[in-house]
Amino acid sequence: MTTHDSRIPVAIIGSGNIGSDLMIKILRISQTLKLVAMVGVDPDSDGLARARRLGIPTTAEGIDALAELVGPTGVDIVFDATSASAHAHNQKVAAELGAVSIDLTPAAMGPFVVPPVNLGDHLDQPDISMVTCGGQATIPIVAAISAVAPVRYAEIVASIASRSAGPGTRANIDEFTETTSRAIAEVGGADKGKAIIILNPAEPPLLMRDTVTALCDDIDADAVVGSITAMVAEVARYVPGYRLKHPPQVAAISADYVPALDGPFTGKQVTVFLEVSGAGHYLPDYAGNLDIMTSAALATAEKLMQLRAENSIRRSSTTTATRTEQS
């Protein structure tokens, strides 16, 4: 007797650290996704070798070989864990296969998505950008502050272990800062955003640390701290290593000139210190920057499919009710 597998078929493009960590996460913890293909370009890569040992169909011929690899079963989601420069072609091929592309590169072609902030706004999009690791760590905090007070300016500093920054991360440093800065405003709700990344060469490697600084004209300090604390708990539901390093700091400041605002400022400064450790599925715990990206991508895929199914059911129910009334 055969059983029907109701899990959603997905593929990963990119067999490096990010793709490999995402593969292990899907296999170990996802109840709704089924990994049906692992795609790379280096036949000797550890990621492809590990996928083969785990029984996952693989190819080293790139995404153009994906259709043949998955066959008539097809694929509903393609996770792109390659590079910003490769994403345009990868997304085109994914679209031709009828799959949603979840972009873990900083290409920023599709709408920015940070799961606890705005996933529900982009259910019908064919291409979803996961921003950057720094964005996934800090934009929820900016959004939490924006929820209770207008944010004039928000700046984030992401410090990651140099060892966790592979060739792809290093090649995309410019895209990281530009993409994250945009998303701080577009998703986080700040009037203006700025992002800085630091590759920390310390040995032994340090955990990912993120600092968020926000300027607001006036705030209810208790409301801001409460909103931040609630958001940290929400992110920690899918990134267990995500936590406040210190309690949020709220201070009154006044300055004749603030470069970020190009003028005087009197109001409140909110400073939040975060730490992110990896779950150890494939990468060491200091690679929290990679873990938060793969965790956010997995959470996005699972919730996206759930919400799409629920909306389809609602639309079907509404249509049936309308037809019944008309008859």
Q: What is the CATH classification number for the domain harbouring 150?
A: 3.30.360.10
Over residues 95-99, mean pLDDT: 96
Is 77 contained in some domain? yes
CA separation, residue 36 to residues 12, 26, 65, 80 (Å):
9, 11, 13, 14
The verdict on 61 and 143 lying in the same domain is no
Tell me: pLDDT of 302 over 50: yes
Active site residue 216: no
3-state DSSP assignment of residue 195: strand
Residues 28 and 20: their CA atoms lie apart, in Å, by: 12
CA distances 208 to 114, 138, 164, 296, Å, are 18, 12, 9, 16
Rounded to an integer, the average pLDDT of 80-94 is: 96
pLDDT per residue as tens digits for the range 177-222: 999 999 999 999 999 999 999 999 999 999 999 999 999 999 999 9
> How many structural domains compose the chain?
2
Q: Are residues 24 and 122 in the same domain?
A: yes
Q: Is there a single domain that holds both residue 115 and residue 186?
A: no
Domain that holds residue 106: 8-129+286-314
Percentage of the chain exceeding pLDDT 70: 94
| Segment among 63-67, 91-95, 320-324 with least mean pLDDT | 320-324
Give the confidence band of 303 by pLDDT, cuts at 50, 70, 90.
very high
Peptide bond into 150 cis (omega under 30): no
Query: Would residue 55 count as lying in a domain?
Result: yes
- Range of weakest confidence among 99-108, 298-307, 318-327: 318-327
Query: Does residue 189 share a domain with residue 175?
Result: yes
Is there a single domain that holds both residue 138 and residue 249?
yes
- Based on the domain organization, do 265 and 291 belong to the same domain? no
pTM score, whole prediction: 0.92
CB 285 within 8 A of CB 207: yes
Residue 88, CA distances (Å) to 12, 76, 101, 131, 198 in order? 15, 18, 10, 15, 27
Does residue 309 sit within a domain? yes
> pLDDT: is 323 or 282 the higher one?
282
Q: What is the pLDDT of residues 7-38, one digit of tens each?
A: 999 999 999 999 999 999 999 999 999 999 99
Does residue 1 carry a pLDDT above 50?
Answer: no
The pLDDT value recorded for residue 53 is 97
| CB atoms inside a 10 Å sphere around CB 273 | 15
Question: Catalytic one among 18, 63, 99, 133?
Answer: 133
Between 284 and 5, name the one with better pLDDT: 284
**Is residue 103 located within the same domain as residue 137?**
no
CATH of the domain at 309: 3.40.50.720
Same domain, 160 and 222: yes
